[in-house]
Structure 1
């Protein structure tokens, strides 16, 4: 079963789409799905990666939960119908 990423703000603009479906399923990790996303939308790479690592200010959510804070980061295992989201830094004001 494919997994869908939701992209927000300038990430959606760079990718040319707010929704990107990738080939990742239950048992794969968020990191696997993230690699598939970058393979499908390489324009995102320089925005979300720094020296090959995820930029610290990028938020990765699985079903509304920030996996980098509340789960096992990119090693978090996917379940059947997870919804993934990628948020750029949010500036307050």
Structure 2
């Protein structure tokens, strides 16, 4: 299985205690499922049933996964997934 770098931002980083980790999987969904097994509290933050929460943004190599096939998007060695929760500021 390919090794994928996963980068976490904002409260996801705070929850997991890390900004980056390496996971193995074949699709975006597999990677996110593995991440949720490692950090069970992330499931409700990331998913609404089997779909991503509408406010979570996931990028594969800088491109929104919505443009490339959603959760079923295949991943390859040395790919990078970035997960952004909602961000607000003023």
TM-score of the pair, normalised by structure 1: 0.84
Distance (whole Å) between structure 1 residues aligned to residue 22 and residue 39 of structure 2? 11
Q: Which runs of 5+ in 1 are unaligned?
A: none
TM-score of the two chains, using structure 2 as the length reference? 0.86
Give the one of 61, 70, 74 matched to 2:71.
Answer: 74
Q: Secondary structure at the match of 1:61?
A: strand
Query: For 2:41, what is the secondary structure of its paired residue?
Result: helix
Listed as ranges, the gaps of 5+ residues in structure 2 are none
Secondary structure at 1:91 match in 2? coil
Displacement of 1:49: 2.0
**How many angstroms apart in 2 are the aligned matches of 1:4 and 1:40?**
15
Q: Distance in 1 between matches of 2:71 and 2:49?
A: 16
Runs of 4+ in 1 over 6 A off after TM superposition: none
Distance 1:72 1:52, change over 3 A: closer
Asked if 1:34 corresponds to 2:32, the answer is: yes
1:46 paired residue number = 44
Which secondary structure state, in structure 2, belongs to the residue aligned with residue 21 of structure 1? Answer: strand
CA RMSD of aligned residues (A): 1.5
Matched residues, number: 89
